[in-house]
Amino acid sequence: MTRLGDDPRTARSTLETMWRIRRFEEAVDDLFARGLMHGTMHLSIGQEASATGTCFALRDDDAITSTHRGHGHCIAKGADLERMMAELLAKETGYCRGRGGSMHIADVATGNLGANGIVAGGIPIAAGAGLAYMIQGIDRVVVSFFGDGATNEGAFHEAVNLAAIWKLPVIFVCENNKYGMSFSTAKSMGVKTVAERAAAYGIPGLRVDGNDVEAVHEAVGTAVQRARSGEGPTLVEALTYRWKGHSKSDKNLYRTKEEITEWRSQDPIERFERIVVERGVLSTTDVEEIRAAATNDIRDAARRANAAPDANPDDLLTAVYATA
């Protein structure tokens, strides 16, 4: 498989995507702090490589299910930045007309079957989508993103078991950022790695540096080929780290400044920038232009989204369905 940093076009696209994710989340963090955005949010700053490397291993018609920490997945799968920003600002032009907010963005047109506020909630949805594709004879695969905490939920084990039995075209991608909310993985699992849990279901379990976008792309690419050829699912554990707290209310009392500083020094974006410059694929000027363009794109998206009409509370019940 060709590496993401081997040719200028792919390297540029990869770097653009990671910077768009970073700048988007920095922008919404700022908007929230200034009281212009409400509710809560879960930022993935520091985890850009896992979202980008994974989604770049997929075709446009492949699907994903996301998590409450899903901005990066959405952007990497090709979402419109203005519509994303509008959704978080509760605007009528948002993906869910301002009703879903940060944790419930869906974009079926790009294959994003939805973020999910329930821990592990997207995993059985991915298995269901994979089953639907298999029954219909459709050549598509599904990636299910989830965190380390989700692997301790029953939904994870049930979905992986069924996917393994039926050889569903699903790739289970665990973004292991060391903490399920504030609880360390070292205390929450009886095994040393998430990847070794795959053995219980008779499927491959791969562990990869989640801050190395090329390593993630290669690992997921291998899993995608396996799923697409009818060999069934793979569990990929991407080791990464979120720089910010679990959510906006998290004061980070459970981890040290030294730990955060150490992981920040492993910035996945700076790491990829160094690689492509050292290979001569992109110049330092190219890199600076990509950073600036991402900043401008997010600024423009925020400005246009903020000018859009607010969601109308009077229309709230038009999206509610019930059966007798």
* Residue corresponding to tokens 């989604």: 55
Q: Give me the sheet containing 142-147, strands edge to edge.
A: 63-65, 142-147, 170-176, 234-239, 205-209
Q: How far apart are CA 36 and CA 30, in angstroms?
A: 9
Quote the tokens at residue 245. Answer: 């707290």
Determine contact, residues 73/145, Cβ cutoff 8 Å: yes
Q: State the Rg of the chain over Cα.
A: 19
Determine contact, residues 233/168, Cβ cutoff 8 Å: yes
Other Cβ atoms closer than 10 A to 192: 10
Q: How far apart are CA 70 and CA 43, in angstroms?
A: 8
Quote the tokens at residue 25. Answer: 């989340």
Other Cβ atoms closer than 10 A to 27: 19
**Which amino acid type is present at position 65?**
T
Other Cβ atoms closer than 10 A to 270: 12
Strand partners, 235: 172, 205
Enzyme catalytic residues: 242, 246, 254
Q: How far apart are CA 222 and CA 16, in angstroms?
A: 24
Q: Which whole-number Å values give the CA distances from 138 to 60, 65, 77, 114, 198, in the listed order?
A: 14, 18, 20, 20, 26
Q: Which residues contact 274 (CB under 8 A, 6 or more apart)?
A: none
